[in-house]
Amino acid sequence: MATNEQATYAPNALEAFWQERWEEAGLHRVFEETGRQKYYVLEMLPYPSGRIHMGHIRNYTIGDVLARYLRMQGKNVLHPMGWDAFGLPAENAAIEHGVHPAKWTYENIATMKAQLKRFGFSYDWSREVVTCDPAYYRWEQWMFLRFLKQGYAYKKPSMVNFCPKCQTVLANEQVLEGRCWRCDSSATLKQMEGWFLRITAFAEGLLEGLETLDGWPEKVRAMQRNWIGKSQGALVRFPVNETQDTLEVFTTRADTLFGVTFVALALEHDLLDSWYQTGRIQEAVWREIEALRQEKLSSRFEAELSKKGVLLELEAMHPLTGEKVPLLAANFVLTAYGTGAVMGVPAHDGRDFEFAKKMGLLIAEVVRPTDGSHPLEPTAFEDDGVLVNSGEFSGMASEEARRAIISKLESLGVGKGVVQYRLKDWGISRQRYWGVPIPVVYCEACGAVPVPDDQLPVVLPIDLSSKIAPGFGLAKLEGFLQTVCPNCGGSARREADTMDTFVESSWYFLRYACPDYEAGPLDTVRVHYWNPVDQYIGGIEHAVLHLLYARFFTRLLKATGVLRFDEPFARLLTQGMVIKDGSKMSKSKGNVVDPDDMVAKYGADVVRLFMVFAAPPEKDLEWNEKGIEGCARFLSRVWRLFQEVAQSLKRPFLVQEGNRESLKALEMAILRATHKVSQDIERQHLNTAVAALMECLNSFTELNDLLDSADGRLAFQGALKRYALLLAPFAPHHADELRALMGENGFAMQASWPRVEPGRIESPVKELVVQVNGKVRETLVFNGEASQEEVYRVALQSEKIKRLLEGKEVVRVVYVPGRLLNLVTQ
């Protein structure tokens, strides 16, 4: 400007000044420019809960540093922001304070947007997406209808997780240790009808895709792999004697089939009820089953249930040996996994072993370690080995036996090889109000009818006659529900469920490419110009929620013909939490630091700097008031140095030529910093990039004797111009101000990132270390490259080295050019 040429750094006025200039210049708007290399930097969009917190600031600062750096590198960088605006907190606020969810949400957005703007993040706000806007969610409804048509969306009754506090259903992914991910209430199970998206159809693709995501943290990939839970095995059918029923079990250990001594059913298995109704299960046995069911319900979330079971007094026939095996109902058999029934092989499964001991069931050894030992007591032998007591399969190795036994089962028609996944279809029905209405109507004559495209969006009614109270939902809005059938024109009722809000966040990153598009959900050209996202940044808490859903949606949209790629996020950075006094900042702990307070006190640049300096991005960051003061001190020192140089340029100089060594050192300092900062941003070590800037400043300060000379001042001016550019991604307001002070026009973001030709940071003066037996004993200085012989010769002239080598023979000399000489003695 600059604002003035004052001696103290006054961040608030300065930052406001530059933010206005950026705004006027439309500096952060970006357009599709074919021929220019694009880069898409994305941070997870926030839920408008009321206020921005430090965790957001950290996330967005990391993204902003990368975005600004890449833009200065000449990339066409998309860096958007929006709001995940549907969700329960808005309804809860309505219940507690009587505010309409829409009003609450939009007011929060306004507050939070102002907070973000104060930090000077380089978002293209013209692309802002608000998911509760009908202009956004109409396309989500459009997509839903496509999915419906192709069978990827369907409705079914099922046992679902239900949060009593939120009064709504939760998807499997949204229940953490039996508790609601949002409010931490204990979830219950409930039989309900609801809509599902067929994520299981993409289980294999989602799993395989993980292998291609080498820009993702291994931790997240492992979590998703785990969640998808693929296992290879066999379905085996056990006919139940004296009935027409066949019990199917899933096993990964077909090689242990001859060791089956019982078959156990989950307490909730459908056949139990049917056998009870047909009198196959006695009244006394049934009462025991009921008792176990009760016990299981009440202790659902205990670490481990002690294994209990009930003999059904029914037998199944072993599919290969024809022997009779007892059937039991057991509390440790999972309903939701496999077939809800397991074959019991006590000799080779720890759980079955424990259970068999307790119930007095037989234990039959069929696999032995290859060393021939019999390790059956005190526990099961679970490893692979060699088969025994297994008829024609005896003598085979486990691996081979699994294949052979599966073929046998298949040829007899009593089983088959299968792949099983733990992943379940995504239940998206929510029985609440503040969400996207599911575009289906129910007609007495025509049944469930999809709402035609031209009647979209099904707008969420905003005018409410009654106040929102607990249990409120679309189902209470008679005016909304009543409609006509698009098919026959008869009276019909609308679907009252809304979609899980994770649906909105599954595709928002696509809409940023074309937020104004009205001819369809996505403008194919623009979407494919920007996507996939090159760098995604957000918290690890979404490892198997949002990140899995978004990957699924991308594949779904590809299958629907909208997209041409499989993976939405090429690289993922999961930043650590901001913690204080050892725990995550939260209202309940009373350890919250408000970003606004910090900005008021230190300015945005200082807070941004601290956010990336105090810890590497992926690690937790401990809030430290002293630490942020250190960053403030650093920016003040930078400020003073620039002032000093600017002032010196106006004064008469004392000498024409500056000290040659100092001039060289100055150039070397800025070159080294340029190299280090570039390299560190590239590898996302933002904390060491800032350290390099600090180090460079320290060097500058030591060289300020150069300001007495004419060429020293000019050299300093040149170096500082480059320094301001290096600072720009971290402290953008500061950087633009400093550039102005050095006589530059325009904005740092429009300037090119300084480059260093390789080799230029090599100092002509080499410092070389001499080791004796690997220990550093001497440091030598050479001008330019020195040969091994030369270094050796000089080293031997050192008194110290001479003394250490006295009476010893050098048996080996290791020379690393430019680094060290190691003399090895006997």
Partner RNA sequence: GCGAGAGUGGCGGAAUGGCAGACGCGCUAGACUUAGGAUCUAGUGGGACUACCCGUGGGGGUUCAAGUCCCCCCUCUCGCACCA
Positions 473 through 512 that interact with RNA (CB under 7 A):
none
The span from the CA of 249 to the CA of 319, in Å, is 12
CA 133 vs CA 84, 100, 435, 440: distances in Å: 10, 15, 10, 19
> Hey, what's the torsion of the CAs at 235, 240, 244, 247, to 10 degrees?
-30
CA 216 vs CA 55, 534, 538, 545, 818: distances in Å: 20, 11, 12, 15, 37
Considering beta carbons, is residue 17 or 421 the nearer one to RNA? 421
Residue reference for tokens 């009808």: 193
Choices 229-237, 312-320, 407-415, 730-738 (CB under 7 A): range interacting with RNA: 229-237
The span from the CA of 94 to the CA of 108, in Å, is 13
Biggest alpha carbon distance in the chain? 111
Considering beta carbons, is residue 30 or 265 the nearer one to RNA? 265
Considering beta carbons, is residue 133 or 622 the nearer one to RNA? 622
Three-state DSSP class for 138?
Answer: helix
43-102 positions binding RNA, by CB under 7 A: none
Element (H, E) at 823: strand 820-825
Please tell me whether residue 814 binds RNA under the rule CB under 7 A.
yes
Please tell me whether residue 673 binds RNA under the rule CB under 7 A.
no
Sole binder of RNA in the list 115, 131, 261, 420 (CB under 7 A):
420
Q: Give which of 751, 739, 741, 733 is closest to 17, Cα–Cα.
A: 733
Q: How far is the CB of 481 from RNA (least distance, A)?
A: 36
Sole binder of RNA in the list 321, 698, 787, 788 (CB under 7 A):
698
Q: How far is the CB of 10 from RNA (least distance, A)?
A: 14
CA 443 vs CA 457, 492, 493: distances in Å: 19, 4, 7
Residue reference for tokens 């996020």: 569
Q: How far is the CB of 815 from RNA (least distance, A)?
A: 9
Please tell me whether residue 293 binds RNA under the rule CB under 7 A.
no
Q: How far is the CB of 20 from RNA (least distance, A)?
A: 29
Q: How far is the CB of 718 from RNA (least distance, A)?
A: 22
The span from the CA of 322 to the CA of 391, in Å, is 12
Q: Are strands 482-484 and 533-539 parallel, antiparallel or unpaired?
A: unpaired
Q: Give which of 477, 573, 571 is closest to 532, Cα–Cα.
A: 571
Q: How far is the CB of 101 from RNA (least distance, A)?
A: 29
150-209 positions binding RNA, by CB under 7 A: 176-177
CA 810 distance to own-chain centroid: 56
Among the residues of 460-512, which ranges form H helices?
478-481, 508-511
Q: How far is the CB of 59 from RNA (least distance, A)?
A: 17
Please tell me whether residue 687 binds RNA under the rule CB under 7 A.
yes
Three-state DSSP class for 384?
Answer: coil
Please tell me whether residue 219 binds RNA under the rule CB under 7 A.
yes
Q: Give which of 104, 131, 120 is closest to 45, Cα–Cα.
A: 131
**Type of residue numbered 701:** T
| Residues pairing with 484 in the sheet | 491
CA 302 vs CA 178, 189, 221, 371, 676: distances in Å: 10, 16, 28, 39, 52
Sole binder of RNA in the list 81, 327, 342, 366 (CB under 7 A):
342
Choices 41-49, 107-115, 218-226, 756-764 (CB under 7 A): range interacting with RNA: 218-226
Choices 96-104, 182-190, 520-528, 769-777 (CB under 7 A): range interacting with RNA: 769-777
Look up residue 78 and give its DSSP letter: E
CA 465 distance to own-chain centroid: 41
CB 362 within 8 A of CB 371: no
532-571 positions binding RNA, by CB under 7 A: 540, 543
Considering beta carbons, is residue 42 or 343 the nearer one to RNA? 343
Q: Give which of 648, 608, 633 is closest to 741, Cα–Cα.
A: 648
Neighbours of 524 (CB within 10 A): 16
Considering beta carbons, is residue 254 or 496 the nearer one to RNA? 254
Q: Give which of 234, 239, 279, 293 is closest to 263, Cα–Cα.
A: 239
Q: Give which of 780, 203, 273, 793 is closest to 548, Cα–Cα.
A: 203
707-766 positions binding RNA, by CB under 7 A: none
Sole binder of RNA in the list 146, 307, 580, 733 (CB under 7 A):
307
Q: How far is the CB of 197 from RNA (least distance, A)?
A: 20
Considering beta carbons, is residue 79 or 672 the nearer one to RNA? 672
Considering beta carbons, is residue 304 or 518 the nearer one to RNA? 304
233-262 positions binding RNA, by CB under 7 A: 233, 250-253
Sole binder of RNA in the list 107, 184, 218, 789 (CB under 7 A):
218
The phi, psi pair for 417, rounded to 5°, reads -75, 135
**Type of residue numbered 232:** Q
Q: How far is the CB of 113 from RNA (least distance, A)?
A: 30
Considering beta carbons, is residue 77 or 638 the nearer one to RNA? 638
Considering beta carbons, is residue 95 or 223 the nearer one to RNA? 223
Sole binder of RNA in the list 343, 409, 612, 670 (CB under 7 A):
343
CA 754 vs CA 27, 137, 748: distances in Å: 20, 44, 11
Choices 182-190, 475-483, 590-598, 770-778 (CB under 7 A): range interacting with RNA: 770-778
Sole binder of RNA in the list 211, 759, 812, 826 (CB under 7 A):
812
Q: Give which of 213, 263, 261, 272 is closest to 237, Cα–Cα.
A: 263
425-454 positions binding RNA, by CB under 7 A: none
Choices 219-227, 477-485, 741-749, 750-758 (CB under 7 A): range interacting with RNA: 219-227
Please tell me whether residue 403 binds RNA under the rule CB under 7 A.
no
Q: How far is the CB of 526 from RNA (least distance, A)?
A: 36
Q: Are strands 38-43 and 76-78 parallel, antiparallel or unpaired?
A: parallel
The span from the CA of 783 to the CA of 67, in Å, is 41
Choices 140-148, 466-474, 485-493, 680-688 (CB under 7 A): range interacting with RNA: 680-688
Please tell me whether residue 469 binds RNA under the rule CB under 7 A.
no
Considering beta carbons, is residue 369 or 743 the nearer one to RNA? 369
Fill in the per-residue mask, 605 to 644: x = in contact with RNA (CB under 7 A), - = not in contact. Answer: ---------xxx--xxxx-x-xx-xxx-xx-xx-------
Please tell me whether residue 333 binds RNA under the rule CB under 7 A.
yes
Q: How far is the CB of 226 from RNA (least distance, A)?
A: 5
Site for RNA (CB under 7 A): how many residues?
A: 82
97-136 positions binding RNA, by CB under 7 A: none
Residue reference for tokens 């089939």: 257
Sole binder of RNA in the list 49, 111, 150, 231 (CB under 7 A):
231
Q: How far is the CB of 90 from RNA (least distance, A)?
A: 26
The span from the CA of 588 to the CA of 583, in Å, is 11
For CA atoms 159, 164, 165, 168, give the dihedral sign: positive
Considering beta carbons, is residue 492 or 621 the nearer one to RNA? 621
Choices 455-463, 588-596, 726-734, 812-820 (CB under 7 A): range interacting with RNA: 812-820
Q: How far is the CB of 328 from RNA (least distance, A)?
A: 12
Three-state DSSP class for 654?
Answer: coil
Q: How far is the CB of 605 from RNA (least distance, A)?
A: 15
Considering beta carbons, is residue 5 or 705 the nearer one to RNA? 705
Considering beta carbons, is residue 560 or 763 the nearer one to RNA? 763
Please tell me whether residue 300 binds RNA under the rule CB under 7 A.
no
CA 388 vs CA 107, 347, 403, 796: distances in Å: 72, 12, 16, 73
